Amino acid sequence: MNTPTDDILKNLTEDQLTAVTHLDGPMLVVAGAGSGKTRVVTRRIAFLISQRIWPSQILAMTFTNRAAREMQERIGRLVGDVPRHVGTFHSCCARFLRQYVEALDDGRTKDFVIFDADDQKALLKQCLNDQPATGGLLPGAISDLISRAKSACLTPHDILAKEAWDNAETVLEVCQAYENRLRAQNAVDFDDLLLLVARLLRERPAIREIIHNHFRYLLVDEYQDTNHLQYELLKLLVNPANNNIHATGDPDQCIYSWRGADYSNIMNFEHDFPNAVIVRLEKNFRSSEHILNVASRLISNNLNRIDKTLIPAIAADDPQKVRLVTVGSDRDEGLWIARRIKTLHLNGNPYRTMAVFYRTNRQSRALEEALVRAAIPYQIIGGLRFYARREIKDLLAFLRLKVNPADRISLERVAAFRGGVGPKTLAAIEQCAREQHLEAFTLLCQPDFAHRWQKKNAKVLDFANWCRQLHDLPCTPVGQAVAAVHDFADFTHHAYDREGTPEARQENLQEMITNAIHYEREHDQAGLNEFLQEVALVADVDTHDLDRDTVIMMTLHCAKGLEFPYVFIAGVEEDYLPHANTVADPDQVEEERRLFFVGITRGREEVALLNARSRPSWDGDWGRQPSRFLRELPMDDIIHTTFNVNNPTVPKPTFRRW
């Protein structure tokens, strides 16, 4: 806490300095793309610490683990002390919930587990199976309904009243059964992490007062991406005695309405906090002048925004104009991108400096094929998550069962992995456990299980003995615990049916053990439960390996918060960008324009926009039209060419014919 203030404040622009040195009262920082937003947030936290604010009194929340880690690392370099409560919304709330969940008095304890999307659907499938008739209801649809309700601080009944659902009564029964089973299994889903903390703050004044007295400053990154639940949660977290909330965001980069994000939250900040200080960061430290001109002209067509102008902070000697390439087909699109990547690489640029963006995942296939044919290494962000792979999910089920015997979903997965005990037998064991007021796994682990079970079934007794051995394995240190469970379950020799290669599965499992060892080294006092919580909250974008020299492929939604020297945006066409499902709603078209804006502003030196004249389609219509957004771009900042295999790179004289 003795870092000189001059070191914290050096190399800041006047607007950044205003934001960093603001002390008390609410402040909104409208941070344009590439304007040093993360620098401002981290420098402000460092400045607060230099002003003798204890790190433990600062709560800073963002949306991705990657962003949270970057903030922590920067703060550590500046002042040495890193506030413990710097993390994602979900990780911060999970920490609060571990401490206070028992005050809800709903049966859950601090050892609760976090159900991911797959666990949630598995639990809903159980609930549906208990219904006499489901009318074709699917777990995924009900999962989406529950999530939308919780994110909007509503009940499933409220959502159903606005939407036309068949079998509405059955849906409500399934939703209630789902919540009952969550509580019975001492589990929460992702939305519960926030919803239950909000409920604690609203219904338990004593806990709210403790939180208010503990945290003097609240900082929120990416405020434009907050949904209604997060918005309500933040209002509950802010101490009304001082309203020390520092919100940073940009309405022009709000691209997640489909998961509940509401840009009106940031637009209404001044209304919510009338004495708020508003700071605009308009100097861009990332992109060239041409890229910024194109992005600024594009986004100026949106009506719902806070007006600002992106200004290049550093003038390049010979900035590259934005490339607009019309190709003959999707194969030509992939070929042009592959050739350009090869050229850039031969000129000394690592593959990791290049990224290919697309609107939908289905576009990736033709692009992947082109990169494979050109022998260009790549990694896809947003594909099958590491922690969603079958062998990893199996290992996690073993670990979760050790810390939470009530986790029925994990018990089913463990039983299926080992074999010998089927669903019917497991249901009988669960019934026996209920009669004895125990959890099924706890009953199985009892030394006198054979007496309690009172049935002669060698397979069940063998399974019970195996469960007892699993239970007795150590839970600490974390790395050794994960390795011990891996060896005990004999993953090395477990047979999976036609799912990947055994070598690849073993590599994944070894990576899991390595991750646990790293976690153990970085968190001395943390146990297995904390490690499982960390794993449960990993997002797709957090799998981006910066050290691998590969081209990055991802959807435009995943690209948010990243930057690359060279960016390719494929499929800038009607029905892709804007997406066909959005064109009937002007508000959604504006969001599609924001999504395009986000993609363009990821580029530092060169951006290429591609559209195809023809592309395979499910309805047999291969003809494609350029995106309406292309007509909004300034042609003085663009080089427009056409390309196809038979007639490559022919200059196109005019843009008007489109």
Exposed/middle/buried for 4, CB within 10 Å: 0-12, 13-18, 19+? exposed
Angle between helices 117-129 and 408-418 (to 10 degrees): 90
The candidate with the shortest Cα–Cα distance to 147, out of 207, 99, 194, 180, is 194
User: Which residue in this structure is represented by tokens 């014919």?
Assistant: 657
Bond prior to 423 in cis (omega within 30° of 0): no
Cis peptide before 578 (omega within 30 of 0): yes
- Of the residues 88, 253, 326, 363, which is catalytic? 253
Q: Which residue has the tokens 């963006």?
A: 357
Q: Which residues of 375-401 are buried (b: 16+ CB within 10 A; e: fewer)?
A: ebebbbbbeebbbebbbbbbbbbbbbb
Among candidate residues 18, 38, 176, 360, the one labeled active-site is 38
Q: What is the largest CA-CA distance in the chain?
A: 87
Phi, psi (rounded to 5 degrees) for 131: -85, 140
Q: Are 224 and 5 in contact (CB under 8 A)?
A: no
Catalytic residue among 37, 74, 305, 402: 37
How many residues make up the chain in this entry? 658
Active site residue 37: yes
Give CA–CA dist 539/386, Å, rounded.
10
Query: Catalytic pick from 340, 602, 604, 615?
Result: 602
- Contact of 29 with 246, CB cutoff 8 Å: yes
3-state DSSP assignment of residue 568:
strand
Does 150 participate in catalysis according to the annotation? no
Enumerate residues 6+ apart whose C-beta is below 8 A from 519.
478, 479, 526, 531, 534
Q: Which of 189, 191, 192, 222 is catalytic?
A: 222
**Taking Cα atoms as reference points, which of 538, 573, 606 lies closest to residue 381?**
538
Confirm if 214 and 182 have CB atoms less than 8 A apart.
no
CB distance 416 to 393 below 8 Å = no
Name residues whose C-beta falls within 8 Å of residue 245's C-beta, 6 or more positions apart in sequence.
26, 27, 218, 219, 220, 234, 238, 273
* Active-site residue identified among 189, 192, 221, 330: 221
Backbone angles phi, psi at 179, to 5 degrees: -65, -40
Residue 25, phi then psi, degrees to nearest 5: 95, 165
E strands in 474-630: 551-555, 564-569, 603-612
Active site residue 393: no
Euclidean distance between CA atoms 14 and 579, whole angstroms: 40
Q: Is 222 a catalytic residue?
A: yes
Residues noted as catalytic: 37-38, 221-222, 253, 602
